[in-house]
Amino acid sequence: MSDDDHQMEEALGSPSLEDLYSRQIFAIGPKAMQDISSSGVLVIGANALGSEIAKNLVLAGVSTIAMYDNEPVQPRDLSAQFFLRESDIGTSRAEACVGRLRDLSDMASVSAHTGPALDSDLIRTYQAIVAATGTFEELCVINSLCRSAGVPFVCGASRGLFAVPTLYLSISLFVRHNDVLQWEECRA
């Protein structure tokens, strides 16, 4: 058995995981798969985009995914978020979709965080934060918390047929105002 095989066996812990993620391991290597399978991601927003991101994280093998969304499920959410059912109306969007996310993989720990506002202690427990909702001001606050905690922050939004992905790496943000892309200072 080669060193890579031993490393893969240690990273994945069982031959069935190797079979499950064989294509991914082939593409990114056993070390990257080990990093993925030992990481945790907080997804802010259990809306259409947030649920799609969470689903992809679960299927990619991320070990811990937490959904953060205190908004109650509204009837309009049923046509946008595929984990929601009519019986979920009135419950937190995060709590409503967690069970169905868990059904996708026994290997992922999926939970709902519906507590108070985010703080740096909560953010430090994850390896990445992904926001699928929020105002510019809220995203600036999250960006500042993530920067101070040293945790990568990715933000995205969907506007009909258009998407706006943003990776926050510095205090300046690349934003769209009136269909013009420009740098804007984050003041949070």
Query: Tens digit of pLDDT for each residue in 28-71?
Result: 788 888 888 889 999 999 998 999 999 999 998 899 999 999 89
Rounded CA-CA distance 116/39 in Å is: 23
Residue 177 backbone phi and psi in degrees, to 5: -125, 120
Q: Which residues contact 23 (CB under 8 A, 6 or more apart)?
A: none
Rounded CA-CA distance 32/48 in Å is: 28
Q: Quick one: average pLDDT of 83-108?
A: 92
| Residue extent(s) of CATH 3.40.50.720 domains in the chain | 39-185
Other C-beta atoms within 10 Å of 87: how many? 9
Rounded CA-CA distance 176/25 in Å is: 37
Largest CA distance in the chain: 58
Other C-beta atoms within 10 Å of 80: how many? 13
Q: Which of 33-47, 130-144, 167-181 has the lowest mean pLDDT?
A: 167-181
> What mean pLDDT value characterizes the chain?
80
What is the CATH code of the structural domain delimited by 39-185?
A: 3.40.50.720
Q: Pick the most confident of 25-39, 110-124, 174-188.
A: 110-124
Higher pLDDT, 1 or 18: 18
Residue 130 has, within 13 A of its CA and on its CB side, a CA count of 22
